Amino acid sequence: MLAGLSRRLLDAALANGADQAEVSCSEDSGLNVSVRMGEVETVESTRDRSIAVTVYFDGRKGSASTADLREESLATTVDQACAIARHTERDPAAGLADAELMATDLREFDSWHPWDIQADEAIDLALACEQAGRDADPRLENSDGASASSGSTVSVYANSHGFVGRERGTHHSLGCALIAGRGEQMQRDGWYDIALAAEDLEPASAIGRKAAERAISRLAPRQVPTGAYPVLFSAEVARGLIGHLLGAVSGGALYRRASFLLDSVGTQVFPEWFALHEQPFLQRGFRSSSFDAEGVATRESALVEGGVLQRYVLGSYSARRLGLQTTANAGGVHNLQVASNAGDLPAMLAGMGTGLLVTQLMGQGVNTITGDYSRGAGGFWIQDGQIQYPVDGITIAGNLKDMFAAIEAVGSDVDHRSHIRTGSILVGRMTVAGEG
């Protein structure tokens, strides 16, 4: 249905005088439940639809959207997009991606696994997750609750080059957050899992116990003396470092001259052993796709090889602004794998010797123009390769360019809950502001 609708809208846009047009349609449905302290808090069932039309009149762009499938509403949406385009300034970089770049090998990547779970079953699952955590230790007297969710998306992207791409995917999650201790000594932590197929989720009891273990481990935190130390980012926060890299090499930041990595393609940004690859064709990958948001064929490629930045992350608009060609990244990257050169977390701790293991980050203290980095942090002090005690109320600081160059190891303890797949990352030295 969505494909036929898209074609009708494209025909209408071209009949209205547009020289190019594109349509994005999606239908989403989902179930979300949350519980706290053994009681149901929310049950939400959702069903959403979105239809967006974009037209181009010789470089002048207009967009309009609707969720109404009535013919008069669809006609009005096309008319509004065309009216907007006629009143905008011409932009030489605007327009569809080049026709010869459209994907022709359209595949699925085992991403469609609907979960026939009813609200009462989802509630029971969330309750079991929370209860397993609360039962794990008597010091867990409170809870921030547990949640279970299941959703599906069906989407179509079509444009006036004749490209029509269909995608469908499911996503399921289960998580729990617990509070240990009392009064000013309370500490909160949790755990969750997310997967495209329900059978790939960790058992509810295991998630609850992991949440309990993490909350208890944070009790009686201390500070550390201010100084410069090795900092090991656990896998679940390490992907944030890769996210900062992506922000700095994305087309929008580059053509606005708002990146600390301007003119960095072909230069050494990381150590020589460091590699980062985009893998859009992974089975059950969170961002697997044959085409990007403009219909351009995706491809496996290196973003970083031998520590050298190989390319930027571009859609067709930013590529034209920069005098380059799209890298098939309109809408974002499609599964990034950071190569590991070390063992699991215990091995990483042993290799670090003494320093800070960061498991939580707070605040937004990252300047993508200068690369300056300053974040509130919590985690554990490590001595002789062993966890000594939890720490919080500290700040870690550096410059991302220096931090990338100072990465000493990437662990094999990959966190699979994201399209950015990385293990823990050891940065050789950062400023840690704590006591004194």
pLDDT tens for the chain, 436 residues long, are: 889 999 999 999 999 999 999 999 999 999 999 999 999 999 999 999 999 999 999 999 999 999 999 999 999 999 999 999 999 999 999 999 999 999 999 999 999 999 999 999 999 999 999 999 999 999 999 999 999 999 999 999 999 999 999 999 999 999 999 999 988 889 999 999 999 999 999 999 999 999 999 999 999 999 899 999 999 999 999 999 999 999 999 999 999 999 999 999 999 999 999 999 999 999 999 999 999 999 999 999 999 999 999 999 999 999 999 999 999 999 999 999 999 999 999 999 999 999 999 999 998 889 999 999 999 999 999 999 999 999 998 999 999 999 999 999 999 999 999 999 999 999 999 999 987 5
CB 84 within 8 A of CB 63: yes
pLDDT of residue 436: 56
Q: How far is CA 331 from CA 98, 180, 287, in A?
A: 16, 40, 10
- Which residues have CB under 8 Å from 42's CB, separation 6+? 32, 33, 34
- Amino acid type, 204: A
CB 259 within 8 A of CB 249: yes
Which has the closest alpha carbon to 137: 71, 225, 218?
Answer: 218
Q: Which two tokens stand for residue 40?
A: 């149901």
Taken in order 46, 206, 234, 314, the sign of the CA dihedral is negative
pLDDT of residue 78: 98
CB 190 within 8 A of CB 173: no
| 419 Rama class: left (phi>0) / alpha (psi -120 to 50) / beta | alpha
| Strands 227-233 and 355-362, sheet pairing | parallel
